Amino acid sequence: MKNTFGSSLQVTIFGESHGPYIGAVLDGLAPGIEIDDELIKHELKLRRPSGDISTKRVEEDNYQIVSGVYKGKTTGTPLCILIPNTKQHSDDYEAAERIARPGHADYTAFCKYHGFEDYHGGGHFSGRITAALVAAGAIAMSALSEKGIYVGTHIKKLADIEDRDFNELEKDVKALSQKEFPALDSKAEEKMKEEILKVREDGDSVGGILETVITGVPAGVGEPFFDSVESIISHMLFSVPGVKGVEFGAGFEGVCKRGSEFNDPFRVEGEKVVTTSNNNGGINGGITNGMPILFRTAVKPTPSIYKEQDSIDINSNKNATLKVKGRHDPAIIHRAKVVVDAVTCLLIYDLISGRFGTDFFLGGKE
């Protein structure tokens, strides 16, 4: 099982949904990075369920950093984060039959681990594990912001409801960092919330598309062919539960244009090289060109729904039907936003460290 990602900065995740702890280890952080406790708590709060549009399982996420920090700053040695699980309802998953939940990893995990996996709440395949990624990502986020690099994500589309495009990047990214529901247009936000409540009443779920922008990344970052910026971003994003697609810049629709329409012309403004459009999403040849990096992530509808579905009994290998019990989200996209931000910060930190060395992020002494 591969639970470690990265080269210069490696992140390892561990734990199960209903186990005592989940957590992450960060290896390769520069020394001297200040641990922003308020930022970590804030990001975990944004991931936490809220109201009727989310699951009723609300963990406090009282994280502990048990290594790699001294006097509030990173030491440069492995940093370990532990987050206790306190609100498990394992009885929701206990039954003589073990019915595979359609859309989940119940059946595939059984095939891979031969029944030895902890399946309660999805076990290691649960979205619960992303809390550890969010805490780890907040540390990378803090280090990036010190270098003028920022990440922002909004729900571009939910069902057939669309949010506006990014406009004033600095202002939009700052606003999104504080919003519990990540939409830029207030009317779109209300419609999206209404749609989530509607599918909840129907015992169903809904998905959508997240759009992310990264500002401040210098030109020249990326290691083609196999560690191109698109390759690394896609690899990490597809590790987030529920992600089914990734596109960059103008995406699939844009590539159907002519080259004269799709190409991004270069210009010099002052001493800075810019492009007059950004159809390539800030990346040429797998290397950053200094423009904002832009990508979109497709997030599927939550697979746990309250409608009866056809399935199988894993233990008896016979056909069965399933009506899911327990606490589940009618949509995960608004909570996935902060996870996408976190993994993006981790991978950008890794890419920049690989290009300029880990001391690029070296913190100052007291």
78 in a structural domain: yes
Average pLDDT over residues 264-281: 97
pLDDT at position 54 is 82
d(CA 140, CA 245): 24
Residue 66 lies in a domain: yes
- Chain segment 63-120, per-residue pLDDT in tens: 999 999 999 999 999 999 999 998 655 555 555 578 999 999 999 999 999 999 998 8
Considering the domain boundaries, does residue 366 fall inside one? no
142, 332, 60, 213 alpha-carbon torsion, rounded to 10°: 10
Q: Per-residue pLDDT tens for 283-310? A: 999 999 999 999 999 999 999 899 999 9
The answer to whether position 181 is within a domain reads: yes
The tens digit of pLDDT for each residue in 13-24 reads 999 999 999 999
pLDDT (tens digit, 9 = 90+) per residue, 196-251? 999 999 999 999 999 999 999 999 999 999 999 999 999 999 999 999 999 999 99
In a domain, 325, yes or no: yes
Closest by CA to 353, choosing from 153, 169, 149, is 149
The C-alpha R_g of the chain, in whole angstroms, comes to 21
CA distance 306 to 293: 38
pTM, 2 dp? 0.94
Tell me which of 115 and 325 has the higher pLDDT: 115
Residue 1 pLDDT class (50, 70, 90 cuts): low
Instruction: Specify if 251 maps to a domain.
Output: yes
Nearest to 33 by CA among 148, 135, 146, 149: 146
The total domain count for the chain is 1
* Residue 194 belongs to some domain of the structure: yes
Residue-level pLDDT at 323: 87
Domain, as residue range, for 58: 4-361
Task: Please check whether residue 339 lies inside any domain of the structure.
Answer: yes
CB-neighbour burial class of residue 10 (10 A; exposed 0-12, middle 13-18, buried 19+): middle
CATH code of 209's domain = 3.60.150.10
